[in-house]
Every structure is written in C-alpha cells, then in structure tokens.
Amino acid sequence: MNTIKKILTFAILLFSATISGQTIIMQVPLPTGYIRPPSGTGSFAYFLRHLPLARENIVYYYNGQIKPDQSSNYAVIDLDIGRRDLQQCADAVMRLWAEYLYHNREYEKIYFNFLSDGKPRYYIHYANGDYSYKKFRRYLNYVFAYANTSSLYAQLEPISMEDMHIGDVFIQKGKPYGHAVIIVDMAINPVTGQKIFLLAQSFMPAQSIHILINPKDHTLSPWYRLDTVKEIETPDWTFYPTDLRRFPQ
C-alpha cells in the first residue's frame, strides 16, 4: 500500500489543485474572443494545463532564497525544485515530460540522453523494479547532472510553427549555455484563426518553474501570439521559429 501511495503522489496533487481551482487552465484567463480547444484526459497537453499553481507568485531558488527579480513570472507552478542546483531550464522541461509519463505509469518511455555519449538512460533500468516516487526523483537528479540543453536538443525532433502543440519546446543549445522553455497551454480565436500560447521555464540557478509574462505585448501577456516568422522574445531569451522541437512520441 505504501508503494501505491508514493506512485499516486503527483496524481493526488493534480486532483487537489483541480478541486481548489489552482491550475493553469483555471487560473490563467483567456483574452477576449479566444477559446481553449479540448485536450484528451490522458494527453501531455491535459497534464500541462492542469499543473498546480502556487498560491503565491514567488520564484524560489533551490536553496530556499527568493529570486531577487520577480518581474518575469506571471505564475509559479507548485512543484518542488530539489535541494541542489540541478533543475535548471532544460531540466525543468525534462521534469515535466517525465512527471507526465510517470503519472501515466508509462515507465518504459522515460529516458533522456546524456551529453557525454549521446546515449539514453532509461528510468526502468535505474529503478530496477522500485517505482516509488522517491526513486523516481533520484533518477531525475541523476539525469539533471549529466544532461543539458545540448543533449535535450539532440533528443527532440524539429517541428514547424504551423504544427505547434502544447508540450512543444523552444530550445537553443548555446555556447557555453543555451536555454529552453516549454509551451504549457494554447488557445485560438475561432473567428480569425489566430493562435496564442503560454510559456514556462526554470533558469539558472535552479529555481521554481514559472509561467512567463510577455514583455513585448502587455495587453496580451502572459500569452504569446503565434507568428510563423517573427522571433519570440521572452524576459530572459530570444527564440526563433526554427528553435521549436518536440519529444519523440
């Protein structure tokens, strides 16, 4: 029974957040004229839309300190950071994908490539039959220590802006550092066909995963307008349409 309880930890957290109304889909309002297309209950999109939000919009560092500049965050996702400086930008993306698969008990699909050799490290091999949440978090810290934006970039598949889905990732490898943000929600104006999306990130040092404001369009913020040509300017980084990628399905 104890093992089952550990496996269901995050599911219970999501359920509690849904009941209280503290989720992305319930707390981030849509601009006038936009609707959210439905997402299947077992999909990555549904999982991200129903991520729990912290009641206080405060980004913390891994060491418990409050981030000095809070101007870039619209809302904070209520998910632990860990106690080491590991869960940075690409790590936060990997964390959300892994949490989704773990929540659905698709353990065999959880893997991430290491930078050193480009080869995947599978969760089922690391777990060795122990699928407790504690062991799962240890696996993630192991991955975070040896994977980064470059290794994640190589693992993801390129996607066109026209085919953007919730769960897709804007990512740059960078020298020496890159950055990655993940699309956690989308909406559409059924009259004009215009699509908009929300972005979430962690950063350096490791910090709370947070939904970004739109620094270039305060009337639309925190939403970003989907444009297949223009760059995407976030508070901390500039991405381009060619930076959009997706986890292999």
Would you state the pLDDT for residue 25?
A: 96
Interval 157-180 mean pLDDT:
94
Yes or no: say if 191 and 165 are a contact pair by the CB < 8 Å rule: no
Per-residue pLDDT at 16 exceeds 90: no
pLDDT value, residue 174: 77
Output b/e per residue, 180-198; b: 16+ Cβ within 10 A: bbbbbbbbbeeeeeebbbb
Q: For residue 146, count other CB atoms closer than 10 A to its CB.
A: 14
Kindly state the tokens that stand for 68: 């000095």
Q: How confident is the model at residue 192 (pLDDT cuts 50, 70, 90)?
A: very high
Is the pLDDT confidence value at 13 over 50? Answer: no
Break the chain down into helix, strand, coil percent, rounded to 5.
Answer: 30, 20, 45
What is the predicted pLDDT for the residue at 160?
97
Phi, psi (degrees; rounded to nearest 5) at 239: -110, 165
Res 20: pLDDT: 47
For residues 158-177, give the mean pLDDT. 94
Q: Residue 198 sits in which domain range?
A: 2-246
What is the rounded average pLDDT of the residues 185-205? 98
Per-residue confidence at 21, pLDDT binned at 50, 70, 90?
Answer: low
Q: How far apart are CA 133 and CA 113, in angstroms?
A: 21
| CA proximity to 165, closest of 10, 48, 84 | 48
Per-residue pLDDT reduced to its tens digit, 82-106: 999 999 999 999 999 999 999 999 9
Question: Is 60 exceeded by the pLDDT of residue 12?
Answer: no
Contact present, 98 and 110 (Cβ < 8 Å): yes
Q: How confident is the model at residue 3 (pLDDT cuts 50, 70, 90)?
A: very low
pLDDT surpasses 50 at 59: yes
Please give the average per-residue pLDDT across 141-158, as a whole number: 97
Could you tell me whether strands 224-225 and 111-113 are parallel, antiparallel, or unpaired per DSSP bridges? Answer: unpaired
Number of domains making up the chain: 1
Share of the chain above pLDDT 90, in %: 90
Q: What mean pLDDT comes out for the span 201-210?
A: 98
Q: Kindly report the average pLDDT of the chain as a whole number.
A: 92
Mean pLDDT in residue range 29-47: 97
